[in-house]
Chains A and B, each alone.
Chain A
Amino acid sequence: MQNYDIGNKVLEFANKYGADEAEVFISANQLTSASVRRNLIESARNQQSHGLGVRVVKDGAVGFASTNVFNRLEETVKSAIAMAKVRDSDEDWKNLPSNGKYPAVNGIFSKKVNELALEDCISLTKEMIDGVCSFSDIIAPSGSFSRMVSNQLIMNTNGVEVEEKSTAVSGFVDVITTSGLPSTAYDFRISRDLDIDFYGIGKEAANLANSCKNGVSVESGQKDVVFHPFAFSDIMESSFLSSIEADNIQKGRSSLTGKLNTDIAARELTITDNGILDGGIASSISDDEGTPSQSTGIIKDGLLKSYIYDSYTAGKEERSSTGNAVRGSYTSTPSVGTRNVVFDHPASDIISEIKDGVFVTNVIGAHTANPISGDFSVEGRNAFVIKDGQIEKPIKSLMVSGNIFELLRNVKGAGDDVRMVGSIITPSIWVSNMNVIG
């Protein structure tokens, strides 16, 4: 059975069992991957997933069920309706999205990625290992290559019918030095297209581990910190992004409640949630409930301009969705989430402007932040001393702590090294007055 036929069948069953509205979300993914152990390819994998989630509305209450067994469509619809019946009518529920005008989104599907043969995947993985081996005394304990081809269909009883095919390819490698005290690093790239320099992933990771050998300690104190895109995106994802989601605003779980059009960040910092970014990992013509994707300004000229909404949270405020309904998989209901988050700031040669500071490539422990207060405390990894405008010795160990909302105000500059770290796109960011514990 084709996905359209499955979708139509589900909507028919929903109608038959008395749903007032219904939606079916079908996804079919094919993941091909190769994994590396100690400089050698250990395995190749081919993982197929194909399943559907059904959302029904009955008497103003929503129910959901999912399955990957396509001869159980009727049972699945029935359990979604049974779930809806357990709930009271929700006066905040308006409607499932209606058919809208969908934007054109470029660079989401690559024929080259779609057609990659296993042999190509193996040779790209080998390139990554070769990059690591261009340094002596450094190995790749683990790493992976992956190629994903996805097909997604959303249909509902209000006329939404959106199908989209997409591709993604990524490379990841961990490296460690094999002589002296161990020094580790990693590098990672992801793209919709086959435009990744795999050799470069291995070489950059090895170069970083190499330059972090024999780290020194630093004195504790308030310092200027430059966060590499890896470190910056990790901290932002864990301590900031949830506070712009409308459900957290509406439930009083965000420090940004009531702060629209107020000054919350450095003047030159711009943050945009962009669901239609060319080649973006989180780009698509619609969000995960069929609302057309869009670009939404979050912070501009230091002012908080908008929160992000799915159709339910938008309905609560009698406004339109920003196209931010996202799902983890077909087994989950949509909820508010960011798409591609783009950080913009005028670029300069920031290191040369810093007298006394640290450069932090990545952090561990970002997910332990308090996402409401914005307080975070992380271990800085692959960090370096910045002295009189120069990057100097590597730092053995340091903690960096602070508050994300203070950090946004203390942004002093940005590098020109914009990088796509998954769905977060950012340059290196220079922040003053960070608390560093050596």
Chain B
Amino acid sequence: MRESEFHDVRWIEGESTSILLDNGKIEDINTNYGNGCGVRALCGGSWGYTSSEGVDGIDAAIKAAIELASDVNKHSPREKVTLASYCEPNVDTLPSVKENPRDVPVEEKVELLKDLSNNASCKGISSTSASYSESTLKVHYTNSEGADCEYELTRVGFAISAIASDGAAYQIGRESNFDVCGYEMFRDPEILEKAQSAGKTAVDLLDARQAKGGKGPVILDPELAGVFAHEAVGHASEADLVLEGSSILADRIGEEIASPLVNIIDDPTLHKFGYYPFDAEGMQSHKTDIITDGVLNSYLHSRETAGKLGGVSGNSRSQGYSAPVVRMSNTYVDNGNSNLDEMLEELGDGIYLAGTRGGQVNTGEGIFQFNAEKGYIVENGEIGYLVRDVSLSGNTLEILKNVVLVGNDLKMHSGRCGKSGQAIPVSDGSPHLLISDALVGGVQ
């Protein structure tokens, strides 16, 4: 067997159930049980990675990973990688599961989805779709430095979407919530309110006007501002992107890059959807202050990037058996002092953007584009009529500087984040933000 400086093994066992209800009828009901492993080996500056499903041959997978690493090192060597030092994590912060979802009969989950659908079906709604998911994941991590740790995590969640149609036009309203907890999430009547809100959004959007594009002041609601924190700032703070030369935040540690009101944090220890006790390299999860009082304070690290740039690792994550990548967890803009009324008054005339239909960012050039679910025209500090098909785009660093007020009403939203072809659970959030100048795209 050839030699490597380092190798590690993640053994994962998972069980999941998902149900999809369409217009009140079960469309799909699905269970999965699987296991497998992902193995990494480091040789000089080259990594080898193997993954295989099923129970066979961890030893063979380690041997194959070492061979891959050593082949790359031979044919295309890279500067030697020094990993930041390892220490065994404490796995004592796991969230509690009050009601194991596996103990709840499937029939009850179907009833729950019917309830959600009914609550979303207000007048004007032509169809609904509701989905439920639960999963239990066991992760066992070992490495050649003697690490040996494991945890088990349960996740549940739902998503509801409602479509309103007046025969000619269609509009969608969506709500969802995913969390690290048990079935107790569904005992909270608030989820039915969320379903109602999805229905109401769709119906309201049918009558919404189309927005006029242009530059001007905007208020972002906590959901859209959270997407900005995650997409535009969080991704650019991932140290792998910094090192490879595709982050606008490279070489800016200690620099004032945002309004002094802005604090952005990534915290995997929070019991939100992006929670984990240790990362995909077996490192203890910990809170990172990315931006403190407007000053760029830290990137997010793996052991490799922390070894190279200095910093604390703990943000390596992966989907299933895929290779670990530097990722966010629960990322948010911290609370400020303003309330929404003060912000509306300060805004005067402008637009209030709410909710999100997703977005995309170019971290290298620091440019982003997000579509809001809806917007409200604000005149003289009063929220006026509803507009749809509105988007926000611009330059990350300009927007950060243009934050003039930060609300005191931080709210988190759960979702999945895609990078390197892997989707992982995350949450993001913010209080309301007032931005003095931004480019709003509309249809007119």
Is the CB–CB distance between B76 and A37 below 8 Å? Answer: no
* B68 proximity list for chain A (CB < 8 A): 43-46, 118
Is the CB–CB distance between A401 and B389 below 8 Å? Answer: yes
Question: A76, A88, A139, A399: which contacts B393 (Cβ < 8 A)?
Answer: A399
* B443 proximity list for chain A (CB < 8 A): 375, 377, 401-403, 435
* A335 proximity list for chain B (CB < 8 A): 28
Q: How far is the CB of A39 from chain B (nearest CB, A)?
A: 9
Mark interface residues in A56-78 (1 if CB within 8 Å of B CB, else 0): 00000001111111101001100
Mark interface residues in A188-201 (1 if CB within 8 Å of B CB, else 0): 00000000000000
Q: How far is the CB of B113 from chain A (nearest CB, A)?
A: 12
Q: Which of B30, B35, B169 has the most CB of A within 10 A?
A: B30
* B34 proximity list for chain A (CB < 8 A): 51, 66-69, 331
Is the CB–CB distance between B72 and A377 below 8 Å? Answer: no
Interface membership of A9, Cβ < 8 A: no
Is the CB–CB distance between A44 and B69 below 8 Å? Answer: yes
Distance A49 CA – B425 CA, assembled complex (angstroms): 22
Is the CB–CB distance between A72 and B33 below 8 Å? Answer: yes
Is the CB–CB distance between A44 and B49 below 8 Å? Answer: yes
Q: How far is the CB of A153 from chain B (nearest CB, A)?
A: 16
- Of chain B, the residue at the smallest CB distance from A48 is B52
Interface membership of A8, Cβ < 8 A: no
Is the CB–CB distance between B391 and A365 below 8 Å? Answer: yes
* A163 proximity list for chain B (CB < 8 A): none
Known contacts A67-B34, A251-B22, A364-B360; is-contact A83 B71 (Cβ 8 Å): no
* B64 proximity list for chain A (CB < 8 A): 46
Question: B35, B169, B213: which contacts A69 (Cβ < 8 A)?
Answer: B35
Interface membership of B342, Cβ < 8 A: no
Distance A161 CA – B361 CA, assembled complex (angstroms): 45
Is the CB–CB distance between B75 and A119 below 8 Å? Answer: yes
Is the CB–CB distance between A377 and B53 below 8 Å? Answer: no
Q: Which of B35, B55, B72 has the most CB of A within 10 A?
A: B72
Interface membership of B245, Cβ < 8 A: yes
Interface membership of B358, Cβ < 8 A: yes
Binding-face segment, B82-90, B278-286, B328-336, B363-371: B363-371
Interface membership of A41, Cβ < 8 A: yes
Interface membership of B217, Cβ < 8 A: no
Interface membership of B400, Cβ < 8 A: no
* B46 proximity list for chain A (CB < 8 A): 41-44
* A47 proximity list for chain B (CB < 8 A): 49-52, 321-322
From residue 1 to 48 of chain B, which have CB atoms closer than 8 A to chain A? 22-23, 25-26, 28-36, 45-48
Interface membership of B411, Cβ < 8 A: no
Mark interface residues in A163-185 (1 if CB within 8 Å of B CB, else 0): 00000000000101010001110
Known contacts A46-B64, A68-B53, A399-B441; is-contact A41 B32 (Cβ 8 Å): no
Is the CB–CB distance between B169 and A41 below 8 Å? Answer: no
* A409 proximity list for chain B (CB < 8 A): none
Is the CB–CB distance between B442 and A42 below 8 Å? Answer: no
Distance A43 CA – B45 CA, assembled complex (angstroms): 9
Is the CB–CB distance between A86 and B245 below 8 Å? Answer: no
Interface residues on A, range: 35 or more
- Of chain B, the residue at the smallest CB distance from A177 is B364
Distance A324 CA – B321 CA, assembled complex (angstroms): 29
Is the CB–CB distance between B69 and A176 below 8 Å? Answer: no
Interface membership of A142, Cβ < 8 A: yes
Mark interface residues in A362-376 (1 if CB within 8 Å of B CB, else 0): 001101101011010
- Of chain B, the residue at the smallest CB distance from A183 is B365
Interface membership of A152, Cβ < 8 A: no
Known contacts A41-B76, A118-B71, A367-B358; is-contact A76 B33 (Cβ 8 Å): yes
Is the CB–CB distance between A37 and B243 below 8 Å? Answer: yes
Q: How far is the CB of A309 from chain B (nearest CB, A)?
A: 16
* A378 proximity list for chain B (CB < 8 A): 369
Q: How far is the CB of A424 from chain B (nearest CB, A)?
A: 18
* B32 proximity list for chain A (CB < 8 A): 65-67, 331
Is the CB–CB distance between B23 and A375 below 8 Å? Answer: no
- Of chain B, the residue at the smallest CB distance from A437 is B213
From residue 162 to 201 of chain B, which have CB atoms closer than 8 A to chain A? 163, 165, 169-172
- Of chain B, the residue at the smallest CB distance from A45 is B49
Is the CB–CB distance between B172 and A182 below 8 Å? Answer: no
Distance A176 CA – B370 CA, assembled complex (angstroms): 23
On chain B, the number of residues with a Cβ less than 8 Å from chain A's Cβ atoms is 77
Is the CB–CB distance between B391 and A44 below 8 Å? Answer: no
Is the CB–CB distance between A368 and B127 below 8 Å? Answer: no
* B163 proximity list for chain A (CB < 8 A): 252-253, 372
* A141 proximity list for chain B (CB < 8 A): 241, 244-246, 364
Is the CB–CB distance between A251 and B365 below 8 Å? Answer: no
Mark interface residues in B348-373 (1 if CB within 8 Å of A CB, else 0): 00000000011111101101011100
Mark interface residues in A382-409 (1 if CB within 8 Å of B CB, else 0): 0000000000000001010111000000
Distance A119 CA – B391 CA, assembled complex (angstroms): 46
* A251 proximity list for chain B (CB < 8 A): 22-23, 127
- Of chain B, the residue at the smallest CB distance from A123 is B75
Is the CB–CB distance between A176 and B75 below 8 Å? Answer: no
* B76 proximity list for chain A (CB < 8 A): 40-41, 122, 125-126
Is the CB–CB distance between A43 and B323 below 8 Å? Answer: yes
Distance A34 CA – B23 CA, assembled complex (angstroms): 45
Q: How far is the CB of A331 from chain B (nearest CB, A)?
A: 5
Distance A176 CA – B246 CA, assembled complex (angstroms): 7
Question: A142, A178, A182, A401: which contacts B442 (Cβ < 8 A)?
Answer: A401
Is the CB–CB distance between A44 and B33 below 8 Å? Answer: no
Distance A397 CA – B357 CA, assembled complex (angstroms): 21
Interface membership of A333, Cβ < 8 A: yes
Known contacts A83-B29, A118-B71, A333-B30; is-contact A379 B369 (Cβ 8 Å): yes
Known contacts A45-B49, A68-B35, A122-B76; is-contact A368 B371 (Cβ 8 Å): yes
Interface membership of B143, Cβ < 8 A: no
Interface membership of A352, Cβ < 8 A: no
Distance A348 CA – B71 CA, assembled complex (angstroms): 48
Distance A141 CA – B323 CA, assembled complex (angstroms): 18
Interface membership of A228, Cβ < 8 A: no
Is the CB–CB distance between B29 and A86 below 8 Å? Answer: yes
Is the CB–CB distance between B30 and A178 below 8 Å? Answer: no
Is the CB–CB distance between A86 and B321 below 8 Å? Answer: no
From residue 415 to 438 of chain A, which have CB atoms closer than 8 A to chain B? 435, 437
Is the CB–CB distance between B29 and A49 below 8 Å? Answer: no
Is the CB–CB distance between A64 and B28 below 8 Å? Answer: yes
Distance A196 CA – B441 CA, assembled complex (angstroms): 38
Question: B72, B171, B245, B357: which contacts A41 (Cβ < 8 A)?
Answer: B72
Is the CB–CB distance between B26 and A87 below 8 Å? Answer: yes
Known contacts A364-B360, A401-B441; is-contact A45 B36 (Cβ 8 Å): no
Interface membership of A412, Cβ < 8 A: no
Distance A212 CA – B172 CA, assembled complex (angstroms): 37
Interface membership of B54, Cβ < 8 A: yes
- Of chain A, the residue at the smallest CB distance from B34 is A68
Is the CB–CB distance between B30 and A43 below 8 Å? Answer: no
Interface membership of A15, Cβ < 8 A: no
- Of chain A, the residue at the smallest CB distance from B241 is A141
Is the CB–CB distance between A51 and B50 below 8 Å? Answer: no
Residues of B within 8 A of A (CB): 22-23, 25-26, 28-36, 45-55, 64-65, 68-69, 71-72, 75-76, 78, 106-107, 110, 126-127, 163, 165, 169-172, 213-214, 240-241, 243-246, 248, 321-323, 357-362, 364-365, 367, 369-371, 389-391, 393, 439, 441-444
Which A-B residue pairs are the 6 nearest by beta carbons?
A: A43-B47, A368-B371, A141-B244, A372-B170, A379-B369, A364-B360
- A–B Cβ pairs within 8 angstroms, 21 of them: A41-B72, A45-B48, A46-B49, A46-B50, A47-B321, A49-B53, A63-B29, A65-B32, A67-B32, A69-B54, A75-B33, A83-B106, A88-B26, A118-B71, A119-B71, A122-B75, A139-B245, A141-B364, A333-B30, A365-B391, A368-B359
Given contacts A65-B32, A141-B364, A365-B370, 19 further A-B contacts (CB under 8 A): A43-B46, A43-B47, A43-B49, A43-B72, A44-B46, A46-B50, A69-B54, A86-B106, A125-B76, A182-B364, A367-B360, A368-B369, A370-B170, A370-B357, A373-B169, A373-B170, A378-B369, A381-B362, A401-B391
